[in-house]
A = this chain, B = another copy of it.
Amino acid sequence: MINEKMVNLGKQPSVIRELFEFGKRRKEEIGEENVFDFSLGNPSVPAPLVVKKELINLLEKEDPTFLHGYTSAMGDEKAREAIVTYINSKYHCKEKKELVYMTCGAAASLTIALKALCNQDDEVIVFAPFFPEYRVFIENSGGKIVVCGFDKNTFEPDMIELEKLINEKTKLLIINSPNNPSGVIYSKECIEKIASLLRSKQKEYNKEIYLLADEPYRELVYNQEEVPYITKYYDNSLVAYSFSKSLSLPGERIGYLLVGNKCFQANSVFYAICGAGRSLGYVCAPSLFQHLIPSVIGKTSNIDDYKENLKELSSLLEEIGYEVVHPQGAFYLFVKALEEDDNEFSKRAREFNLLLVPSTSFGVKGYVRIAYCVSLKQIRNSYNAFKELYMSYL
């Protein structure tokens, strides 16, 4: 009678959430320090001090009717300007503030972009391994998810499969680099190949095909790797960004959606974004945090803490004998399961109080995701549990 699809979606939390809830119960039973919860991508490093300082500064100095008042639906002018000034200077491009739409975080950026671009039954290509909520967001827009496989060595898209998957119904591709869950950064060569293929497919089908870069982890890179800025490689590009991970503000829901200035009929695409935001009930992004942006743009939490976690965790796992995908960014480690069925492996890990997300939920078999945005202490203390889990397979 009511919307059954929504009931089921609400009843069946994502595998990640389910694992997290299990962890909560288990911690109550045996104590927090005895559960090694690697389930959630919730930043463990606090927001930089400048966030607190500037928020208090705004609260002390600004007129509250301005500070907490509606901004225009596309966002506060100064926030939008600060964002493009930063991007243009850092990535040497020419984005326009008129094409930046402030959002309530990356999930909102994605649902809005999908609703703006897709008509019923349009196809949206995602690359395994991929963030499981993509499926939910694509379905909400009326689109259909199409999953493309990956190169087992690089964890980059399988270009041969991709070429076969693009057809006259393809509306857009979503890429996510640095990637959740693999931590892999798509190389410049990889992006160039995708762009070149899309250009030829646009000609073949005489239509626009969009490329949406979902990049909440852009700043979380550990060895000065370059994360190619997508609008420089492909004209019909959109960028979905969130300050959740870079500034450790995941609960505040602040991000943006940028339409590349060379996008075909960029203004129409931007109008569609405004329409989609309105239709989904997003009146404006939270105003206090919009007003914060100009003074914190380009700053990040202390990323070195994650780097240290990564180093410690990788060497600990490799010492035991696990096979890991060496990540270049984000705060996830993708580790080969010790049996074919990653769900079974994740279940057995629970017996050792290790909460590891099975990779099937990311569209890939045979791995688990370890979110290492946790305390260094937790990583060190988990050694025995990982060791015992490993031994149980010998």
Contact = CB atoms under 8 A, between A and B. Distances in A.
Interface string A1-25: 1110111111100000100000000
Nearest to A136: B279
Given A6-B116, A7-B271, A286-B289, A64 B46 contact: yes
Given A11-B275, A104-B104, A140-B281, 15 more contacts: A2-B116, A2-B268, A2-B269, A6-B271, A6-B272, A10-B273, A47-B65, A65-B248, A67-B251, A68-B252, A109-B281, A133-B278, A137-B281, A253-B283, A286-B289
A107 interface: yes
Given A65-B43, A280-B111, A5 B275 contact: yes
A276 B111 CA distance: 12
Contacts of A286: 104, 251-253, 286, 289
B208 A1 contact: yes
Contact of A59 (B52, B64, B270, B272): B52
A275 B8 contact: yes
A259 to B, nearest CB: 11
A108 B282 contact: yes
Size class of the contact patch on chain A: 35 or more
A110 B283 CA distance: 12
A276 B3 contact: yes
Given A2-B117, A251-B69, A278-B10, A105 B283 contact: yes
A163 to B, nearest CB: 22
A274 B7 CA distance: 8
A160 interface: no
Contact of A1 (B40, B52, B207, B289): B207
Interface in A277-325: 277-290
Contacts of A274: 9-11
A165 interface: no
Nearest to A268: B7
Given A9-B279, A136-B278, A253-B286, A70 B46 contact: no
A281 B108 contact: yes
A249 B281 CA distance: 17
A146 interface: no
Interface string A64-103: 1101111101000000000000000000000000000000
Nearest to A253: B286
A4 to B, nearest CB: 8
Contacts of A67: 251
A204 interface: no
A139 interface: yes
Nearest to A107: B281
A56 B71 CA distance: 22
Interface string A241-252: 000000011111
A196 interface: no
